[in-house]
Every structure is written in C-alpha cells, then in structure tokens.
Structure 1
Amino acid sequence: MSAVREFGRALTQPFGAPAGTVQTYIEVPFKLGDGKYFPDGLIRVFRGQREWTALVEVKTGGNELQAEQLERYLDIAREQNFDALITISNQIPPVPGQHPTAVDKRKLRKVALHHLPWSEVLTAAVMQKEYRGVADPDQAWVLGELIRYLEHPKSGALEFSDMGANWVSLRDSVGAGTVRATDVAAADVAGRFDALVRFAGLKLGRRLGTEIVPALSRKDLAEPATRTQALVTQLVATGAMTAGLRIPGAVGTLFITADVRAAKITCHVDVDAPRDGRPTTRVNWLVRQLKHAPETVRLESFAAYTRGPGNTELLRAVRENPALLVGDAAKELRVFRVAANSSAGTKRGTGRGSFIESVLSAVDDFYEQVIQNLKPWMQAPPRLRTNEEVTIEPVSPALVSTAISSQDGPQPPAGEEQPGKA
C-alpha cells in the first residue's frame, strides 16, 4: 500500500482517509492496562495538516476474527486518538459495510470499524493494475507480484469455499417441507447465500474491470438482519432464495434465484421493451440481440396494465414465431424477461457438483451469453427532410375561394384609385 500509491489510495479513501502520502508499519507495540499488544499493522495517511490513522488486524485461511481481540484494539485506537480499525480476512459479510464479527457498539463511538475480505483486496489490486493503471512501471510490477501471490492457493487468501455446517440439514429440511422461519440453519444459509452472490460479483468484476455491487435497498444496507429475514421467509414459502447484482452499463439488474427444493439455479434480467412499433416488431428487436444465446433461454413478455405472469416461450420457438410472446395485440408490451436455468449442485464446499460452483458458473455464463449482448432501446431522433423530400400538393379548384376578400391584392398607396373599382 505504501509502495504503490494508487493502490494505497484505492483501499484507504473509501474509509475516509485523505488522498495523501501512505505510511505503513507492522506489529507496532501498544500498552493497554497491564498488557502489551501487537496489532498486525498500522496505516497512516498525511495530506497537508490532515492526518488519518488506522490499526489493521489480519486473518488468513480459515481463521476467523475474534470479538475480544477486536474490542481490545478498538480500546487502543481510542486511547491513541486513531480513526479506525481495519480487519482483513476470508470472511465475506452478506451486505457491504457490515462487519462479520459482532462487537460492543459502545466501542465504536469514536473509532470506526471496517472490514475487507481478501477477495475484495484482490479485486482492488487487479482493477488498479489492469484497468485504472499505475503510473510508475516499478510500482506496477510490485502490484503484479501481490496479485500473483494472492492468487496462489497457499497464500491464505481463499475464495468463497463453504456454505457452512448447516447447509446439508437445511437442504434436507427444504426438500421435506419442514423448514421453519425460526430455524437457525435457515438464517445461516441465507446469509451465506448473500455472501456467495457478493463474491460472484467481485469475481465477475475482476474480469470486467468494473465495480459490481449487490442490488440491495437502503433499508437492507442499513438493517442487514431485515434482508436476511426476508430471504428466510422466501425460503420457507417457496424453497428458494433470490439476490441481485448491479452491473454498470448493463441493461438491467442480474437476478439469481437458487431453488433449493428443485436443485435449480435461475438467472434472469428484465428489459424494457421499445416504446413504438407493432408487438411482433418489439419481440424481434429482442430476439435479434439474442442471436448468440442458447436456444433454451426462456423469454417472457409483460403487457401494460396487466398482473400475473406474462406470455412465456423458449427462444428457439420465438425465433420461428415472434407472435408467441404476444397475447392481446391491443395491449402494449412494456417489459421482457430473459431467463436461463441450470442445475444446482448439492455439496457444501467447492469443486464439481458443489452448490457454490453452480452459482458462480451460472452468473458468468448468463452474463457472457445474454446480458453483455443486450442494449436498451433508444428512440431514433427526428430527421431533417431534404428539399427533394418536400412536395407541394396542387390546390384543388374546389378549394379556391370566390369571395371578394380572397381576390383582394395589395392595397394601393393613399390617394390612388384601385383599378377596376369606381
């Protein structure tokens, strides 16, 4: 972070640090009461008279952050008038900005607590080097070495690799129809599903060079427990969980639905239909953009002022007959839904046949085959007509007026007689 200026700024500015010089230290000793403690790191950023300082605690592999240790470091930061405590681990909170470890909120009155998953650190490094750029060639090489290190399996910076100990029991309960809203297993799996979708967004964002964030409301971001409970309610009622990703420049939000009961993953995106043209013309506009999509993609159309499901058919059939998506020709088509199904794995870990791998593959495939090829409809601007296109229709004799007022020509100057009048 101190060697590559752009990378240091990319990680610290979201936490409130100024865009200044970054200084970093490791294992700085601090006294607290009768004990002596060594946080893993300390970051200090200077810009003019402004100074921002944060302690850093790091965990690798399967090691998790401990509340007691974090609260101790928060006390140290408060005594030293530091601004924040930053934690880095493989734990991925379901909601951005949420911390994976619950601490005494009274200790957060003067010191902020931030968390960075290792996958997010890797994403920031890749985006800075490959897309945003590093001015100094030597610094770019250093950042490349960090990326190479973090991507190594033995670095301790692991990808999302486990749906948790409750996955198997929850999967069986959903299949049997015995899952309840009060089940601890349901809340645990719901939180991990949101974390998995967030990880899928980070992974896809590294390939695209853009920041992909979960599609969450302000209430969900402010109250993560409410979001988890909503997923649990959906799981109990339908056996499925739904989350979304906002991709900059995409035609719409990418939604992922994991049907645990049916062992199926569904990705879909909603596309606004053109605002002019016949219904079949609007359908053809969508079909032309899906020429490289699998023929098993499902299309659904929704008309204005209607409720319930729309007209649904597979892409291969709509290619042959666009009218299949048109119900009542008198009603205007407003929205299309493009969806793709795939099998969901059952294993809790990673690898072939795992639930995690099936979700990651479904997201990547749907973006590559569908979303990146879709563009929103834009109304054509009005065209200027050339002189050749402007025609003057001859006046019909029946339309010529015989009224005296219509025969009047220009008025003569004052004092002169008008010809033809006494």
Structure 2
Amino acid sequence: MELSVFNNSKLSDHEVRLFPSIYIRGEKEPEMRATAALLAMVRAVSEFGGIIIKQTGGPGGKAKNVECLTEVSFLPDFPEDNDPARPDGIIRRKYGKKIWTAFVEVKVGKSEIDKMQVNKYLKWANSLDFDALITISNQITRPNGDPPYNYNRRIKKVKVKHFSWEKIHSIVQNLCGIEQNIEDLDQKWMLEQFDKYLADDNSRIIAPPSFGKHWHSVLKNAKQGTLRTHKNQIQDVIQYWFAFLRVASFKIGAKMGQDVRIRIPRKYKTDSTGFINESCNKAIDTGYLIGELIFPGMKDIKISVNLRSTTLHLSHEVLAPQDGRRDRRVRWIIRELKKQGKIPKSIRIKIDWKQRGLITCEDYENLTEGINPLLRGEGNMQVSKDVMPKYFIIEYEKPLTAIRGKGSIEELRGVQKDLEDFTV
C-alpha cells in the first residue's frame, strides 16, 4: 500500500538533484560549478560528448574513451610568467591510435571571453600540439558562425570553436526530448539533471536576453526620426537583436527537434560586419528591426519589430494546395491552423491569389462561421471561382508595450514566447 504522503503534488520539488543550485556564492563559484558540470556530461554522456567534440572538429560518433580535466595549472609546459590565467579545462578523446585534445575556457552570466586569454591559450595549444580551443559564454556567435571575439587566425593548426550557453542548452534539450537519442537510461537521467541546472536561474549560468543599454534611446530616436544621427546606438541594438534571434532559433529548434537557423544572404556568409552594417542601414531607413528564421521543410518565418510603434510582427507563407476547387483549397489552411490547437488571438490570414494584384485578408477569429470574408477583395467584390489561391500568408502582430518590463528583458521573453506560439 502506497502512503498518501507520496501523492503530494509538491513531491517533485524534493527530488534529488545531481547539480544543486543552492548556496552558490561569489563570482567564481558559478563558473567553476558550470565548468565541472559541463565537462562531467561530456565525459559521462557519450551522445552529448560526441556532439560537442564533432562540432569542434574532432572525431564523430558517440564519445567513448573520453577524459575531462579541470584546474589544469599542473601542465609543465605552461610558460613561466606572472600571468596566473589558465584554461578552465581539457577534453581528451582516444580513438584508434590517435588522441584528440582541446582546451576549454568558460564564462557564465554577463562575463565575456577575454580576447587576450584566447590568443594566449591558442598559442599554448599550438605549442602542445592540441587540436582545438573551445570557449563557452553567453556571447552569441556572429551571424556567420564565427566566434564573438577576434583571435590570431595565423595559427591554423588549432581549431577555435565557440558555444553559447543557449546553444549548449539546446543540444541538451534536443537529446533529452526524444527517447531514442540516448541509449543508456542513467546517462539520460544525468543529462536531464544538467538540463534543469542550466535552466535554473540560481545556477547563474545563462544570462537573460537583452536589447542592450541603448534600447530605450533607440526607441525614442525612432519616434523622433533621428536614428541616423545615432547610428552607433542602433548598431549596438542590431547586434543584440541578431544574438537574440540565434538564441530563439536554438530554443525553437530544440522544441521541434529541427535545425532552425537565421537566414543570412550568401554574400555575407563570411562577412558578419557587412551583414550587421546592412541591417543597421535598413533599420535607419525603415524604422524596423528585421530577421528571418529558416525552418526545414517550410517557408521562412519573417520577424520584424517596428521601432516607432514598438510592435512585433511575424509572418510566413504557406503554399496553397494545387488541386481541388477554390473553396476547398481555402478551407485547407483553416483546418491546418486548427490542428495546431490553441491559436494566438492576433493571427491574420492573407491570400495571394493567382490573379495579378489580388490579395484578400481577414482575422482568424472572424472565420469561425465560414471562409466568405477571405473570398472578398477591394470594394467587397467576390473572388471568381475560377481564380485559385497561390499562397497563404499567416501573420501575427502584437504590441511590445504589452509585455514591457523595467528593461528589455521581459520584452524579449515575450517575443520568444510569441515566436514559439507561432511556430511550435
């Protein structure tokens, strides 16, 4: 007979934690705990370790024969100087007769990777015949995937790879989300514990999203039409914007089990500075922050923030069915939306018809009694039964002011939630 005390709904709050987040003090302890937990997972969970090592240029497959070390000042080959700085850890993987080795440097919260330390560790790694240098922080990689810092690219033998904590978290969530991803149940439980630790604000690992210190000044300048005279401020906000979109793509991708990415024009694949500058100029000219997320198997989702009215706008195109009568094709998109369950209130449907210049639109909530509102164009003219829909455009709009907090943190959390409601 099971005791009634074990039927308590709050029982889960008392489950044992592999990585407790209580009594974390000072600036250094969160970093030390995060490093130890991360390297323990690389060592213990072969699927997770395999992904980290492979993405850093190491051998593929599940990471067996892995050794992870912390506080590595014991290495005799470190130069004798007055600089006490040292990497936070080392990952070594034996495969066949070879050994792959990487330094690991970790920062948590708002702390950033030190460019001088990176170049120093890169030099050490090169002299020790290490294969890679891994850095981890809340800094997001540049839009083209490069690390968020400059480093000595003349040292080509050592691979430099940066992970944001959100990227690490998305990898963990992806692995935990599908039962078959991790064979060993104990390893799966350990990774689930690491997932909880990363998500716990008390761990002080992941920093909340932000538009940066110039956000409210940029909103004011947009309303006054003076963005061009404060280009440095809008450029700063643009960098935070794309950093946020990368984090959003990680989170949505983890929930969907897909590889979601930011769309970057081909000419900027290796030119992050050019991409940011062009985006900055567009923001100045139009008053919008814009971006696109690429989803496998479906049209891109376009995202924009109107800086003057502080509204969020999301949209994506869906190809209309190519057979059936007109009304049947239109009803198809209504059925598809209903399958998603709860529909956000501000959803609007547009139809781009196979007749030049003909577009109709209506709010989703006005279509509960039928599709007739979508079959009327300008002047309430009925769309001919011979004209078929080409694309459906699903749109969503919401004021940012409705989710505004003291800074931009709550605004971006609201944008993240709206994105997830719109896509997942």
TM-score range, shorter chain: 0.7 to 0.9
1:53 aligns with 101
Shift of residue 99 of structure 1? 1.1
Cα distance in 1 between the residues matched to 2:405 and 2:396: 22
2:321 aligns with 274
| 8 Å Cα contact 2:209-2:244 kept in structure 1 | no
The normalised TM-score by structure 1 is 0.78
1:26 aligns with 70
Correspondent of 1:312 among 353, 361, 372: 361
- After superposition, where does 1:361-372 map in structure 2 within 5 Å? 361-368=417-424
1:407 aligns with none
Correspondent of 1:3 among 44, 55, 61: 44
Structure with more helix by fraction: 2
Correspondent of 2:133 among 81, 85, 88: 85
1:89-145 deviations in Å (ceiling 9; x for gaps)? 1112352622111223334x2222111111111221222233253222332232222
Aligned-partner SS, 2:304: strand
327 and 229 in structure 1: CA distance in 2 versus 1, 3 angstrom threshold: farther
Cα distance in 1 between the residues matched to 2:406 and 2:162: 25
Cα distance in 1 between the residues matched to 2:138 and 2:415: 19
1:299 aligns with 349
Cα distance in 1 between the residues matched to 2:56 and 2:395: 37
Deviates more, 1:339-348 or 1:158-167: 339-348
Q: Which has the larger radius of gyration?
A: 1
| 8 Å Cα contact 2:353-2:391 kept in structure 1 | yes
Cα distance in 2 between the residues matched to 1:243 and 1:315: 24
1:386-413 deviations in Å (ceiling 9; x for gaps)? xxxxxxxxxxxxxxxxxxxxxxxxxxxx
2:10 aligns with none
Matched, 1:12 2:53: yes
1:64-99 deviations in Å (ceiling 9; x for gaps)? 111111111111111112121110111123526221
| 8 Å Cα contact 2:292-2:303 kept in structure 1 | yes
Cα distance in 1 between the residues matched to 2:336 and 2:46: 42
Q: In the comparison of the two structures, how many residue pairs are matched?
A: 363
Code of the aligned partner of 1:275:
Q
2:171 aligns with 124
1:149 aligns with 197
90 and 303 in structure 1: CA distance in 2 versus 1, 3 angstrom threshold: same
Aligned-partner SS, 2:376: helix
| 8 Å Cα contact 2:133-2:161 kept in structure 1 | yes
1:212 aligns with 260
Code of the aligned partner of 1:18:
P
129 and 296 in structure 1: CA distance in 2 versus 1, 3 angstrom threshold: closer
2:337 aligns with 290
Cα distance in 1 between the residues matched to 2:93 and 2:223: 53
Cα distance in 2 between the residues matched to 1:193 and 1:327: 40
Cα distance in 1 between the residues matched to 2:225 and 2:151: 36
2:376 aligns with 324
Aligned-partner SS, 2:227: coil
| 8 Å Cα contact 2:288-2:305 kept in structure 1 | yes
Q: Identity percentage over the alignment?
A: 28
Shift of residue 186 of structure 1? 1.3
Cα distance in 2 between the residues matched to 1:3 and 1:215: 35
Matched, 1:360 2:401: no
2:22 aligns with none
Cα distance in 2 between the residues matched to 1:65 and 1:233: 29
Shift of residue 343 of structure 1? 1.3
Cα distance in 2 between the residues matched to 1:191 and 1:148: 29
Code of the aligned partner of 2:349:
L
- After superposition, where does 1:172-211 map in structure 2 within 5 Å? 172-180=220-228, 183-211=231-259
Cα distance in 2 between the residues matched to 1:47 and 1:174: 56
27 and 296 in structure 1: CA distance in 2 versus 1, 3 angstrom threshold: closer
Shift of residue 151 of structure 1? 1.8
Aligned-partner SS, 1:174: helix
Shift of residue 160 of structure 1? 3.5
83 and 327 in structure 1: CA distance in 2 versus 1, 3 angstrom threshold: farther
Cα distance in 2 between the residues matched to 1:329 and 1:228: 46
The normalised TM-score by structure 2 is 0.78
Aligned-partner SS, 1:211: coil
Cα distance in 1 between the residues matched to 2:405 and 2:149: 26
| 8 Å Cα contact 2:144-2:270 kept in structure 1 | no
| 8 Å Cα contact 2:360-2:375 kept in structure 1 | no
| 8 Å Cα contact 1:164-1:348 kept in structure 2 | no
1:100 aligns with 148
Deviates more, 1:141-150 or 1:7-16: 141-150
1:11-64 deviations in Å (ceiling 9; x for gaps)? 111121113532211122342364565210111122113332211100011111
Shift of residue 181 of structure 1? 8.1
Matched, 1:44 2:124: no
- Gapped runs of 5+ residues in structure 2? 1-41
Cα distance in 2 between the residues matched to 1:276 and 1:144: 46
Matched, 1:237 2:285: yes
| 8 Å Cα contact 1:94-1:192 kept in structure 2 | no
Code of the aligned partner of 2:188:
A
Correspondent of 2:299 among 252, 263, 273: 252
